[in-house]
Amino acid sequence: MRSRHCLRLLIGALALGFLVVLQPAWCLAGGLQVNAGYDLFTTDASQTSFPGLGDLMGVPLSTYNFGSGSVLVGNTDTIIKRNSNVSVAAVGDTGTTSLSVFALQLETVNKVNFANNGLADYFVTLQSIHGGPASTGSMDITFNTATSGTFKSSLDLFFDIRMGSLTGKIVDSLNLTLTNSGADWSNMAPAGSVLINGINNNLNGKDITNDFWPNTITEKHPTGGQHVVDPASVPEPNGLAMALAAILMGLACRRRRARRT
């Protein structure tokens, strides 16, 4: 009887130890998430092109209204929203969110004669800005760690090609699907990124656990079109502006000294 009792105690102890070992893994369940939000991008002109238009560069928005007034968005020319939170059970899992394209402004790097419409600068804008179809898509986010991983995305773009300016004559309206086969993300914002509280980050870095910051994304189309974007940033002051500021500060100091004497 004693041997059976001891055996039961041993089995119970082993089971309890097994549960204690597994507890950290169980604690991860339901705890991995990235919040819904906007991703702000700037186009890489050295790698972005479209058949008939050649190389394309971004036209910065400067400001954008996310619903509560216009805010500064740096060199942003493309804005995509992740429409829902993505939650998974554990590291290694993948979750999905739908996407909405809110802004896209591109311009030909060089003047071209697109579809025999004449030699000019041509611009790419969304059809949705004048009541056309919305550009939407989806994103699969994989957690390689609790706060980083990879993602795949697909965008169904409806866009216009305009002649001369962003509001110029529409010479063609097209639809194509761009796919990204695998890019990196983490919850840490790249240096110099545009930070907008509650829009593309959480509390300005006070709680970044569920933030989502993509790195360079290469979106491709089978026809040869390609759109490469990086996280938007706040432009650094140019050398001339910095030099002018230094001169003005120097003059102010001299005036103060002259007044004292």
Distance CA 29, CA 91 (A): 9
Would 148 be classed as within a structural domain? yes
Distance CA 119, CA 174 (A): 20
Would 86 be classed as within a structural domain? yes
Tell me 197's DSSP state. B
- HSE-CB of 174 using CA atoms within 13 angstroms: 16
Would 71 be classed as within a structural domain? yes
How many domains does one find in the chain? 1
Would 26 be classed as within a structural domain? no
**pLDDT tens by residue, the chain, 261 residues:** 444 444 354 344 333 333 333 333 333 444 899 999 999 999 999 999 999 999 999 999 999 999 989 999 999 999 999 999 999 999 999 999 999 999 999 999 999 999 999 999 999 999 999 999 999 999 999 999 999 999 999 999 999 999 999 999 999 999 999 999 999 999 999 999 999 988 988 766 678 999 999 999 999 998 889 999 999 999 765 443 433 444 344 444 444 444 444
Would 212 be classed as within a structural domain? yes
Domain membership of residue 58 as a residue range: 34-253
Would 112 be classed as within a structural domain? yes
Would 236 be classed as within a structural domain? yes
Q: Count the Cβ atoms, other than its own, within 10 Å of residue 159.
A: 24
pTM of this structure? 0.80
DSSP reduced 3-state for 48: coil
Dihedral sign of CA atoms 205, 145, 149, 101 in order: negative
Would 233 be classed as within a structural domain? yes
Q: What tokens were used for 67?
A: 């619903």
**What is the phi/psi pair of residue 3, to 5°?**
-65, -40
